Amino acid sequence: MPRTAYPTDSDVAALAASVPLPSGFAFTGMAAAAAAEWERRTGYRPFLGSGSGSTRVYDPPGPNRRTLSGYSLLGGGRILDLESGLYGLTSLSIGVGPSAPGTALTLGTDFWLEPLNADQIGVPWQRVRFRAPIFGLESSVAVTGLFGYGSSVPEDAWQAIARLGCALGLEALVEGLRLGAVKWAEENVSEAYDPTLISGLGDSMRSWAERVLAGYVRIEL
């Protein structure tokens, strides 16, 4: 079942409940760190959409330049990489500038969103294909809509992010233990912890997360 929020530190800590850990150790901040790594490595920033529309601006696609009325225009291409996911479109305009609202284009006539079957295969749109080559100034293409992979986190992705957070926390703990803190003392009670056991759990968590993450990596143009 899709989740409407990322895992919390409590969700992350629950995954390590089967292994004895120092009573003073906490997974504070590990869920946020895992979500940040997930977004960076999948290429979806954000991955979980906010539900609020926003506008992103792009240069016209294409490597060419041409001079028109004294202006050097960029572009000449037809495919624009959105550099993220888009799961809801409000508008797309070209020729936008500080004092120019630009020209609004029509979906299905002037441009198409790709992949064309995004809804059927359960992924967001990632590219715009224009009917004709686009030229314009820098940052003159404006796309307004809902950016992200979607309005919720798929269950396997949620589980992977939680496990990634657990792995990050355990990796930090193992590093501390191997640097010399092989015992944890609290209120005159001294307990020894096995870095190999803890590291093995962390490796297992990361391995599971990596397999899922590989299926969500955005393919850039």
**Cβ-Cβ contacts under 8 Å for 123 (sequence gap 6 or more):** 85, 115, 149
Residue 40 sits at φ, ψ, to 5 deg, of -65, -45
> From the centroid of its chain, how far is CA 120?
21
Does residue 182 surpass a pLDDT of 80?
no
pLDDT reported for residue 25: 84
pLDDT band at 20 (very low <50, low <70, confident <90, very high): confident
Sign of CA dihedral 203, 40, 146, 111: negative
How many whole angstroms separate alpha carbon 177 and alpha carbon 37? 24
Residue 133 sits at φ, ψ, to 5 deg, of -55, 140
pLDDT in tens, 101-160: 999 999 999 999 999 999 999 999 999 999 999 999 999 999 999 999 999 999 999 999
